[in-house]
Protein backbone atom coordinates (compact mmCIF):
# COMPACT_ATOMS: atom_id res chain seq x y z
CA UNK A 1 0.00 0.00 0.00
CA UNK A 2 2.70 2.51 0.95
CA UNK A 3 4.43 1.92 -2.38
CA UNK A 4 1.36 3.49 -4.03
CA UNK A 5 1.48 6.64 -1.89
CA UNK A 6 3.31 9.92 -2.28
CA UNK A 7 1.80 12.36 0.21
CA UNK A 8 3.64 14.69 2.59
CA UNK A 9 1.63 13.49 5.59
CA UNK A 10 1.92 9.74 4.95
CA UNK A 11 5.12 7.96 6.02
CA UNK A 12 7.20 7.08 2.98
CA UNK A 13 8.32 3.58 2.11
CA UNK A 14 12.10 3.21 1.83
CA UNK A 15 12.31 -0.54 1.16
CA UNK A 16 10.97 -4.05 1.67
CA UNK A 17 12.74 -6.84 3.57
CA UNK A 18 12.14 -10.26 1.99
CA UNK A 19 13.10 -13.70 3.26
CA UNK A 20 15.75 -15.03 0.88
CA UNK A 21 14.30 -18.53 0.65
CA UNK A 22 10.60 -17.76 0.25
CA UNK A 23 10.11 -14.26 -1.23
CA UNK A 24 7.87 -13.65 1.77
CA UNK A 25 7.86 -10.07 3.01
CA UNK A 26 9.44 -10.04 6.47
CA UNK A 27 9.21 -6.33 7.06
CA UNK A 28 9.44 -2.89 5.60
CA UNK A 29 11.62 0.14 6.06
CA UNK A 30 10.02 3.55 6.22
CA UNK A 31 11.55 6.97 6.04
CA UNK A 32 13.04 8.21 9.28
CA UNK A 33 11.04 10.89 11.13
CA UNK A 34 13.56 12.90 13.11
CA UNK A 35 12.69 14.02 16.66
CA UNK A 36 9.13 12.73 16.31
CA UNK A 37 6.47 12.98 19.00
CA UNK A 38 3.46 10.68 19.07
CA UNK A 39 0.24 12.72 18.85
CA UNK A 40 -1.33 10.54 21.55
CA UNK A 41 1.30 11.81 24.01
CA UNK A 42 0.78 15.52 23.28
CA UNK A 43 -1.02 17.03 26.26
CA UNK A 44 -1.60 20.62 25.10
CA UNK A 45 -2.08 22.04 21.63
CA UNK A 46 -2.42 25.54 20.33
CA UNK A 47 -5.46 26.27 18.19
CA UNK A 48 -3.12 26.70 15.22
CA UNK A 49 -1.58 23.23 15.78
CA UNK A 50 -5.01 21.68 16.13
CA UNK A 51 -6.21 23.23 12.87
CA UNK A 52 -2.99 22.43 11.00
CA UNK A 53 -2.86 18.79 12.08
CA UNK A 54 -6.58 18.30 11.46
CA UNK A 55 -6.07 19.57 7.91
CA UNK A 56 -2.96 17.42 7.37
CA UNK A 57 -4.41 14.19 8.77
CA UNK A 58 -7.75 14.69 6.99
CA UNK A 59 -5.89 15.38 3.75
CA UNK A 60 -3.89 12.16 4.11
CA UNK A 61 -7.08 10.16 4.70
CA UNK A 62 -8.80 11.78 1.68
CA UNK A 63 -5.72 11.03 -0.43
CA UNK A 64 -5.80 7.35 0.57
CA UNK A 65 -9.52 7.03 -0.08
CA UNK A 66 -9.10 8.76 -3.46
CA UNK A 67 -6.66 6.00 -4.40
CA UNK A 68 -9.07 3.31 -3.19
CA UNK A 69 -6.93 2.58 -0.11
CA UNK A 70 -7.89 2.24 3.55
CA UNK A 71 -5.68 3.27 6.49
CA UNK A 72 -7.43 0.78 8.74
CA UNK A 73 -5.78 1.81 12.01
CA UNK A 74 -6.76 5.45 12.41
CA UNK A 75 -5.91 6.59 15.93
CA UNK A 76 -3.83 9.26 17.65
CA UNK A 77 -1.06 6.80 18.52
CA UNK A 78 -0.52 6.28 14.75
CA UNK A 79 0.22 9.93 14.06
CA UNK A 80 3.70 11.34 14.54
CA UNK A 81 4.53 15.03 14.79
CA UNK A 82 7.86 15.66 13.08
CA UNK A 83 10.54 18.17 14.03
CA UNK A 84 8.96 20.75 11.69
CA UNK A 85 5.58 20.46 13.43
CA UNK A 86 3.88 18.46 10.69
CA UNK A 87 1.61 15.45 11.20
CA UNK A 88 2.79 12.14 9.69
CA UNK A 89 0.41 9.18 9.48
CA UNK A 90 1.93 5.74 10.17
CA UNK A 91 0.98 2.09 10.74
CA UNK A 92 -1.15 0.94 7.85
CA UNK A 93 -1.47 -2.66 8.99
CA UNK A 94 -5.14 -2.30 9.78
CA UNK A 95 -6.95 -4.04 12.55
CA UNK A 96 -8.39 -1.27 14.70
CA UNK A 97 -11.97 -0.09 14.89
CA UNK A 98 -14.33 0.41 17.80
CA UNK A 99 -17.08 -0.81 15.50
CA UNK A 100 -16.00 -4.17 14.04
CA UNK A 101 -18.55 -3.83 11.22
CA UNK A 102 -16.59 -0.86 9.90
CA UNK A 103 -13.11 -2.30 10.36
CA UNK A 104 -11.11 -1.97 7.14
CA UNK A 105 -13.62 0.39 5.51
CA UNK A 106 -13.80 4.04 4.54
CA UNK A 107 -16.45 4.47 7.24
CA UNK A 108 -14.09 2.97 9.83
CA UNK A 109 -11.34 5.38 8.76
CA UNK A 110 -13.71 8.33 9.05
CA UNK A 111 -14.82 7.22 12.52
CA UNK A 112 -11.17 7.03 13.60
CA UNK A 113 -10.48 10.44 12.06
CA UNK A 114 -13.39 11.93 13.99
CA UNK A 115 -11.89 10.53 17.21
CA UNK A 116 -8.47 12.03 16.42
CA UNK A 117 -10.04 15.43 15.79
CA UNK A 118 -12.00 15.19 19.07
CA UNK A 119 -8.82 14.12 20.88
CA UNK A 120 -6.99 17.19 19.58
CA UNK A 121 -9.83 19.61 20.32
CA UNK A 122 -9.93 18.46 23.93
CA UNK A 123 -6.28 19.47 24.24
CA UNK A 124 -6.52 22.89 22.54
CA UNK A 125 -5.60 25.90 24.62
Rounded distance between C-alpha atoms, residue 89 and residue 66, angstroms: 16
pTM of the model: 0.86
- In order of their start, the domains of the chain are 34-121 (1.10.510.10)
Express each pLDDT in 57-68 by its tens digit: 999 999 999 999
Summary mean pLDDT of the chain: 87
Q: From CA 22, how far away is CA 62, in angstroms rounded?
A: 35
Tens-place pLDDT, residues 3-42: 778 899 998 887 878 877 777 777 777 788 888 999 999 9
Radius of gyration from C-alpha coordinates of the chain: 15
Amino acid sequence: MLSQCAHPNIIGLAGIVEASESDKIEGMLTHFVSNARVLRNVERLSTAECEKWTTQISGAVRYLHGKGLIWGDVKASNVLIDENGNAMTIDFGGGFSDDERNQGTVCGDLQGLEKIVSFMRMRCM
